[in-house]
Every structure is written in C-alpha cells, then in structure tokens.
Structure 1
Amino acid sequence: MSDQPSLPVTFRPGRTRAVLLTAGVAIFVVISAVALLLEQLGPGERLSFIVTGALVFWVLALLARVKVVADESGVTVVNIASRRRLDWAEILQVNLRPGDPWVFLDLSDGTSLPALGIQPGIAKERAIADARILRTLVEARAIRDPEQHQG
C-alpha cells in the first residue's frame, strides 16, 4: 500500500490543459484586438467579435476542466459538460487500452464511463502512470460481493 498516493489525489492532463488555456487566452486577445483596431467596425460589430472570442475561450476552458478526483469515499469524474460522483465499489475496472483517447471506467451498473481527466494525448507516459495509480486505488478500496461477478 506504500505505492499508493495519499488521498485526495487529482488526475488531470496538465500539458493539454496548459495548451488549451493558453490558446484560449491568445485567441480571445487576438480577436478582441482585431475588433478594436478595425476602424470600419461599428460598436455592435466590435462587440460581436469580442463575444465570439469569449465563446471560443469558454469552449476551450470547458475542454480544459476535465479531471478525476479520488478521495477516501470515492471518485469524482469531471468531463467536459458533466460531473459524476462514484463510490469505490461502483468501479469494477479502470481501462486504458492502446489507442484509447482516455481512461474508461467499467461500472457495476453495466455501463462504461469515460474519464477524460486521464488521457494519453500529449503526455502518454503520465497517463499510463495515472491509470495504474487509479487502478491500484480502485482495487485496494473496492469491496465487492464475489457472486456479483459470475459470468
């Protein structure tokens, strides 16, 4: 158990997050600057440029918010537009197969939940290590009925 991190632990794609937020700020600044520098634009057109830049930033910020938080009572998965709280026993398996865009959690209700907070995009080794840590935490904390897994 000494190889497990102390809880709570947060998994998130740090490099991807930095790229998305940096791009969002840059796009907002450039579009806003263009709106302010183009003299032929009226106030409504300038505002529409700035609102468009803000919308692009907002979408990129939504993409950057993904994370997986493990604590003593379970796991919270924050994806682009959703948040789901899971008890440890609800998670049957943590999967990150070659070619997967992110981790998938196999759940006790028969469904699979994507956990975008662990994704091998820019930092593949980090994602693999994070998936192993989460898998170890799930295996150590999940108390299941052996009859539940027959068949």
Structure 2
Amino acid sequence: MPANSPFEDIERIVDEMQRRLDETSVGGQSVGNQPSLDVVEYDEEFVVTVDLPGFEAEDVSVELVGRTLAVEAEQTHDETVEEDDGRFIRQERSRSTSTQQVEFPARVHEAGAIASMHNGVLTVTVPKTDPDQGGTRVEIE
C-alpha cells in the first residue's frame, strides 16, 4: 500500500477545516456560536460569567426559566462603501448570534436574578432558593 504524500494530508486537513467553517456560517450569518461561560456556585447564589465580545447590552437577552438560564446575543452588521457619485460598489449585511444555556444543580429564585454587562462580559447573579414559579426575563443593568 503506497504511503500518502504529506501534501495530500495537508490538503485533506484544509478541506476539513473549510467544511467546518462553511457549516457554521451561512450567507454572511454566523450560526449558533456558543460563547464561553463560567459558572461559580457560592453558598447563597450562582454567578455566571459569559464572554460576548463585540456585543452591547441591548444586543443580549437573558431569560431564567426554572433552573435553566438562557443567554442569547444577536447583532446585525451593515457595511456600505460608495463611490463619489453615490453608486454602491459593495454593500454587505451580516447577522451574528451567540447562544448558551446552563442548568443550575439547585433551585433558584428567578425574580432575584440580576445581570450586568461591562466590556463584552455579561455577569448574571442568581440567588438560590426553592420557590416553584414560572419563567422570568432578566433585565441587564
């Protein structure tokens, strides 16, 4: 059996990387990115930190339903380049979304949750408790 050329291996790797990139991007739209997050459990609360670089607080939705925290960030980018006579040379629009969910290992007090966002980092603090209530939307300060 002949040995593979190292160039064939490199070409195969590049093709696989391109295929994976194509699966996560459709028509200039980033699909289903999961931002990095940390969850720390303290005696009285959970603190969730989510990295959302490039997003502003108004781009982010935080919802707490039962023991599940859902974070979704979405933004649209518009870029227009024009010539002097006002005719479009290029016009690009793209949309990026990031979603992440975490289920807490204990019951939480939904109405007591608070969220803040600074420099692209979202921090959500959720107190522990055991009320059985419906979902609550968490406003970002």
Which bin holds the TM-score, normalised by the shorter protein? under 0.3
Bigger strand fraction: 2
Q: Which has the larger radius of gyration?
A: 2
Q: TM-score, normalised by structure 2?
A: 0.27
TM-score by length of 1: 0.26
